[in-house]
Amino acid sequence: MLSYEFMQKSFIMGIMIALIAPTIGYFLVLRRQSIVGDTLSHVALSGVAFGMITNFYPVYTAILFSIIAALGIEGLRRRFKNYAELSLAIILSAGIGLASVLISLGNTQGILSYLFGSLALVSNQDILLVILLGAVVFITIIILYQDLFYITFDEESAFLAGVPNGFINIYFSILVALTVAISMRIVGILLISSLMILPVAGGLLVSTSFKSGLIYSNLFGLLSVILGLTTSFYLDLAPGGAIVLSALFILIIIIGLQYFKNKLGKLS
């Protein structure tokens, strides 16, 4: 499998995404914002369609659209303080509406590869982008770890403690947008939010602390991507779907093991 150059590129990009997506998703889940990835993915779809129509590289236009949407979510979240989820619904509606109009204009024949991912279309340019994003994400986590920790669990107390909530929220929203837009080459626009959530769900079930939850989320993300890409290659399946189903399979195993563990504990 790894004797093929396109599979080598896919694994490099897939492993990076397997570390980036659950890391970003971990903070989203703990902040009760799991749907953000799904919202931005619909906007990224409109960005891809726009890029195809205007002959720009679709990944770049998806990044631009996603960042604008992330900033829009943050702005609307402040406007609707008591109805924060409303901002997500508004942006999601705008994204899918714009995407449907742009796709109907034509010249979007290759859009399926962006919807569900493609092993053959991963380029050196895509790999460079995902490596740069990975470096930015992990440097951010290291530098802003304490601030992100405080904001995740109590945003108001963090603000009173002097944490720059506004800047960090906007910066983190942009990282989420970049993750969604860049990851679509392997996982697909419609499935990337699942890779940001499913490994995290498994990590939260087995973790005993904040840090261990983050580590387990990354571990399950890696297993999902490796298993998914391998299955995709040998069974000729869509890589995004194979990766997400692998993540779901791992989550089901974790839930099953915990169920039997609890049953045995009660019997003993």
Residue boundaries of the structural domains of the chain: 5-267
Q: Answer yes or no: is pLDDT of 219 > 90.
A: yes
Q: What are the residues whose beta carbons fall under 8 Å from the beta carbon of 234, sequence distance 6 or more?
A: 1
Higher pLDDT, 263 or 240: 240
The mean pLDDT value for 204-229 works out to 91
Note the pLDDT of residue 198.
92
191 band by pLDDT with thresholds 50, 70 and 90: confident
Query: How far apart are the C-alpha atoms of 198 and 205, rounded to whole Å?
Result: 11
84 band by pLDDT with thresholds 50, 70 and 90: low
108 band by pLDDT with thresholds 50, 70 and 90: low
Note the pLDDT of residue 267.
67
% of the chain at pLDDT higher than 90: 15
Note the pLDDT of residue 193.
82
245 band by pLDDT with thresholds 50, 70 and 90: very high
% of the chain at pLDDT higher than 70: 97
Strands (E), the chain: none
Q: Which amino acid is residue 108, in one-letter code?
A: T
251 band by pLDDT with thresholds 50, 70 and 90: very high
CA angle 112, 186, 192 (to 5 degrees): 85
Q: Answer yes or no: is pLDDT of 30 > 70.
A: yes
Neighbouring C-beta atoms of residue 14, cutoff 10 Å = 30
- The whole-model pTM stands at 0.83
Query: How far apart are the C-alpha atoms of 40 and 228, rounded to whole Å?
Result: 23
Mean residue pLDDT of the chain comes to 84
Query: How far apart are the C-alpha atoms of 54 and 51, rounded to whole Å?
Result: 5
CATH architecture group of domain 5-267 = Orthogonal Bundle (1.10)
The mean pLDDT value for 125-135 works out to 83
Note the pLDDT of residue 200.
93
